[in-house]
Amino acid sequence: MQSGFAPVLARYLRVCGLAVLFLAVSRAGAAQDTPLISGGGGFLTSTNGGNTTYTPIIEPLIDVPVGQKWLFESRAALLESFSPRGGGLTGYDHSYFAGLTYLQGDYLASSHLTVVGGSFLLPFGTYNERLSPIWIGNFQDGPLIANLGLMATGTGVGGEVRGNAIARHSYSIDYKAYFSARSGNQQFNSQRSSGGQASLYLPEKRLEVGLSYNRLLQGTHENFYGAHVWWEPANTAFRLRSEFARGHHAQGYWVEADYRTQAFGGLNSWVGRIEPVFRIQQTFRRDTLFSDGLPLVNTQRADFGLDYNLPHSIRILTSYARQFSSQGDRNIWETGVVYRFLFPAWKGKM
């Protein structure tokens, strides 16, 4: 385990060297644009079928502005997992992982267009780009359909354009379009694909509706379709999120709701920090080929969570899930403590 971890960590440190170089260039050329270091760290546990896995994890993120038009950003994941040995053996096995989630450069061409190059998160649905960081999601694990449309890696190596196509007082329309080349690099692995996403936002209703389409352009070409609906009513702490995805071999959906009351002293009271969460999800097989990371049989799952939002960006996550399928029903218990950090790389000029 240790020997396999060392080269991965070495590659990660080399890439971090690039980030340091970006920092130096930024400080020399535009001292008023202070880079930000943020991210999250946590300790997570998951009990599945009576076996408990322990995972300490840290996900650092860096944003490095260079002048008025350029932004370099990257996110990494470093974790170590301890799980019970199988086959009647006592004790725990452990594994390491260290690597970049993405590394990209953004050129802010105009108020309606941003050009992205490098290794970037694929724009499909909402989970991959907006909910996957550990300090954002309400549950430890992603939805069952999270892999659909993400070409096995969740990232692309190539280019992307994104921005706001239309902005009005009553509505706005955002767009994203990308092309990814095939890459066999262990750190920047991707498949040849293209696709995009469009979303409509109604600010008065605080309602967002979006459509996604991605196409695999290597091997057996496949199409992936997605749709999402997010709703956050004004003057409440209620959020409703949902997503549907369809691939060549399977399809499914998830719906998630969470709420915090403001009736007992506001969101920062001890009662207002309590956050009950519920998620229901289903997957449906279209054939028996297993190439998308979804369950091999039709599966239903209900997740019940109770999170607590402590001061100083600390969250306690707890959840219980019951999963139903023809391969057998099972219970999944998860707990964790997550901390969100954010600080400048150095003190900026006033």
Q: How far is CA 114 from the centre of its chain?
A: 21
pTM (2 decimals)? 0.89
| Residue 78 backbone dihedrals phi, psi, to 5 degrees | -130, 120
What pLDDT was estimated at residue 289? 78
Enter the tokens of residue 197: 């996403």
Instruction: Tell me which residue of 175, 60, 187, 65 sits closest to 119, measured CA to CA.
Output: 187
| pLDDT tens, position by position, 105-135 | 999 999 999 999 999 999 999 999 999 999 9
Query: Fold for domain 5-344?
Result: Porin (2.40.160)
Three-state DSSP class for residue 136: coil
Domain ranges of the chain: 5-344
Kindly indicate the confidence band of residue 346, based on its pLDDT and cuts at 50, 70 and 90. Answer: confident
**Number of Cβ within a 10 Å radius of residue 169:** 7
Q: What would the pLDDT profile of 12-69 be if each residue is shown by its tens digit? A: 555 555 555 555 554 555 445 789 999 999 999 999 988 999 999 999 999 999 999 9
Of 127 and 86, the structure prediction assigns the larger pLDDT to 127
pLDDT reading at 171 higher than 80: yes
Residue by residue, DSSP assigns 237-300 as -EEEEEEEEE-SSEEEEEEEEEE---TTT-TTSTTTTEEEEEEEEEEEESSS---SSS-SS-EE
3-state secondary structure of 175: strand
